[in-house]
Structure 1
Amino acid sequence: MTLRLALLSAFLLSGPAGAAEIACEGAFAIDSSEARLVEIYGAEYVRTGIVPGPEGTEMLATRIFPDNPKRMLEFVWWDEDARTDPSAIGLPAKLAGPGGVRAGMSVAEIEALNGKPFTLSGFGWDYGGYAGFETGALAAPAGGCHLSLRFDAKDYPAGIDIDSIIGDQAVQSTNPVLTEVGAYVQSVAIGYPHPDYRD
């Protein structure tokens, strides 16, 4: 079986309960490119164009399986002209990020994988719910990438004071209100620093 077919088989056949775990290598490596994605996945599954960005902006991105939201990967490039040097790679629910993190996990489950608490931004604004890892097992995946998770709340039950988890503020993962609102991982991404700031 060719590398391309092996990757496609693992990607297409893995289910949510046993989500395939990616590593920061190959298609997801620091030196990845649009050309590599075409080589691995096939030109028919790769599309580059303008997509919605944060705060109402637009940006250039390369999408794998662009017509299938459940399997779509999204690559944003530091070098948009050459379509090289990935800055951020959004993963679908069918793929787990380094360390086994995946969409749907609770704050407690991510804490357990990391081995210690972490910090996320408060909910309810454009950058709400984002978390990175400065310390712990998830802080420095092999391959030089970094993890970015976005959390959301399942519900805001009546009678709960949610001021400590709302708005532009740092929220500790140990905050019990996160459990009360059923905070969970909405999306998983990996990224790399700009080439000018790499060791």
Structure 2
Amino acid sequence: MPVRPCLVALLLLPLPAAAAEIACEGAFAIDTSEARLIEIYGAENVWTGMVPGPEGTEMLATEVFRDNPKRRLQFVWWNEEDRTDLSFAELPPKLAGPGGVRAGMSVAEVRAINGEPFTMSGFGWDYGGHAGFQSGALADLPGGCILSLTFSPDSYPQGVDIDAITGDREVSSDNPLLETVNARVDFVAIGYPHPDFRD
């Protein structure tokens, strides 16, 4: 699939103060690859190697602008040998995902974009604060990608019982404790199902 010139220009420019919004196309399309990233960003800006993964593991990833935390993109592949079949792409803080969701947003702000409540996992463990979308505006995105977020609490006020939003449990975005701890988005990624499970 050819990469549209306007998208290439957008992704090569320094990120503006207001987060630019990506779509599930071009570098972030279901058929993207390491080769496409090199074509878009230039070989000098693309690196592939082992990076830290969940629960103390390591995983292979391709990173763009690796030495610039404000612009760094990380791509993880289902097909590691060929660097194809995108599993997920982690976005930098200044880049918004589909729908305009970006790092720093509150739970209420994301719920408003989605148009209805969603769920996340409780805080305080390796998968804590992870949110996905089974319904609403963020559940059925153009291009077929899946939006994935992680929220983190700003603080736990003294004397507040936070058991209902911590640990391996499902937490509704309507839970008022999420506002009490000022939970904010700190991770935004888009991804695709394994090729064996695609329609």
Q: TM-score range by the shorter chain?
A: over 0.9
Matched, 1:182 2:174: no
Corresponding letter in the other structure for 2:135: T
Q: Residue 25 of structure 2 corresponds to which residue in structure 1?
A: 25
Separation in structure 2 between the aligned mates of residue 146 and residue 140 of structure 1, nearest angstrom: 8
1:114 aligns with 2:114: yes
Equivalents in 2 of 1:178, 1:141: separation in Å? Answer: 26
* Contact kept? 2:15, 2:71, Cα under 8 Å: no
> Which of 3, 8, 14 pairs up with 2:12?
8
Counterpart AA for 1:41: Y
TM-score by length of 1: 0.95
Tell me the alpha carbon deviations over residues 161-196 of structure 1, each in whole angstroms, 9 at most, x when there is no partner: 100000000000000100000001011000000011
Query: Would you say how many aligned residue pairs link Structure 1 and Structure 2?
Result: 194
CA distance in 2, matches of 1:91, 1:56: 21
* Unaligned segments of structure 1, at least 5 residues: none
Match of 1:163 in 2: 163
Instruction: Give secondary structure in 2 for the equivalent of 1:14.
Output: coil
Give 1:70 deviation, angstroms.
1.3
TM-score (norm. length: structure 2):
0.95
- Partners of 2:122 and 2:157 lie apart in 1 by 17
How many angstroms does 1:5 deviate by?
Answer: 4.2
Q: Shift in Å at residue 14 of structure 1?
A: 1.6
Return structure 1 stretches of 4+ with deviation > 6 angstroms: none
User: Identity of paired residues, percent?
Assistant: 69
1:13: how far off?
A: 3.7
Give the Å deviation of 1:69.
Answer: 1.1
Partner of 1:155: helix, strand, or coil?
Answer: coil
